[in-house]
């Protein structure tokens, strides 16, 4: 049982749901990223997703795309991010997932990446552009090194697809709440509750909802029907709003605390 499994086990025992945050590594720089990770751990975030900047982030909307481009211009790469995880592991025990597109892993080498990620203290891997049907070799390697492979379900997923994704996912299942890319939305999808009821009948694994979540009321609504809520773009936007301020980390931390309720 790795850190992600332990976290959901503990939350179930407390009748609580997971609050998961996403930030782009290297935005605005790696030093700030480290400080944000430590701040999130301190205020009680349950899991942190660390986005690996990539030049063609097909699942991401303009807010995260911009953050990725700025990080890339600073030269931030996968090796830097693994070193960052290794560094913060001296101070925190919070579950950390990498959210990366497949190309950086391919260039790194699947086995080399899996071995190094596990050694540095990564707990889970989310790869938006790797369908599980095409990820057999990576899934085997992830299992070998006790890395959770977190795959996606969406509003268009069939019952057969739900069962298949449940079978290959470890840690939790990432439910994309809408068709489209990441980015804050004013309202949750109308079919969110009914879709999640179907999924929960077909899997016993935790299901967490992401894409479009930007407010505390939305987080509360998701807690009623899922095992966790994932917030990304709204946090990146808050970073952007405070990017030149010396108290950026505290302001972002306060914003995240407000989302958590």
Which residue carries 């972002």 as its tokens? 252
Model pLDDT, residue 186: 54
Domain regions of the chain by residue span: 3-260
The per-residue pLDDT for 178 is 66
pLDDT at 183: 43
Query: What's the confidence (pLDDT) of residue 181?
Result: 45
Please tell me the predicted confidence (pLDDT) of residue 29.
97
Q: Which CATH architecture has domain 3-260?
A: Alpha-Beta Barrel (3.20)
Active-site residue numbers?
Answer: 49, 60
The SS3 assignment for 27 reads coil
Find the helix packing angle between 62-73 and 233-241, rounded to 10°.
60
| Contact (CB, 8 A) for 37 and 92 | yes
Mind listing the pLDDT tens digit of every residue in the chain (261 residues)?
Answer: 799 999 999 999 999 999 999 999 999 999 999 999 999 999 999 999 999 999 876 767 788 999 999 999 999 999 999 999 999 999 999 999 999 999 999 999 999 999 999 999 999 999 999 999 999 999 999 999 999 999 999 999 999 999 999 999 999 999 998 654 444 445 566 789 999 999 999 999 999 999 878 899 999 999 999 999 999 999 999 999 999 999 999 999 999 999 996
Q: Which residues pair with 245 in a beta bridge?
A: none
Residue with tokens 């290794």: 86
């Amino acid at each position: 049982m790795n850190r992600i499994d332990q976290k959901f086990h503990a939350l179930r025992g407390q009748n609580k749901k997971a609050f998961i945050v996403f930030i782009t590594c290297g935005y605005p720089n790696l030093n700030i990223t480290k400080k944000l990770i430590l701040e999130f751990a301190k205020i009680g975030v349950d899991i942190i997703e660390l986005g690996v900047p990539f030049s063609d982030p097909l699942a991401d909307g303009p807010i995260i795309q911009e953050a990725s481009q700025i990080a890339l211009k600073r030269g931030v790469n996968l090796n830097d991010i693994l070193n960052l995880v290794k560094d913060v592991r001296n101070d925190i025990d919070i579950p950390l997932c990498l959210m990366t597109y497949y190309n950086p892993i391919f260039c790194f080498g699947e086995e080399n990446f899996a071995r190094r990620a596990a050694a540095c203290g990564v707990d889970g891997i989310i790869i938006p552009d790797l369908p599980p049907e095409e990820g057999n070799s990576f899934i085997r390697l992830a299992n070998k090194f006790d890395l959770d492979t977190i795959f996606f379900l969406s509003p268009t997923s069939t019952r057969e697809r739900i069962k298949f994704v449940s079978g290959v996912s470890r840690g939790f299942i990432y439910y994309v709440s809408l068709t489209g890319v990441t980015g804050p939305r004013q309202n949750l999808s109308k079919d969110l509750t009914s879709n999640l009821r179907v999924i929960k009948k077909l899997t016993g694994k935790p299901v967490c909802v992401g894409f479009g979540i930007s407010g505390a009321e939305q987080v509360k609504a998701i807690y009623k029907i899922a095992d966790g809520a994932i917030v990304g773009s709204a946090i990146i936007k808050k970073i952007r709003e405070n990017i030149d301020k010396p108290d950026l980390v505290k302001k972002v931390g306060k914003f995240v605390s407000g989302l958590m309720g």
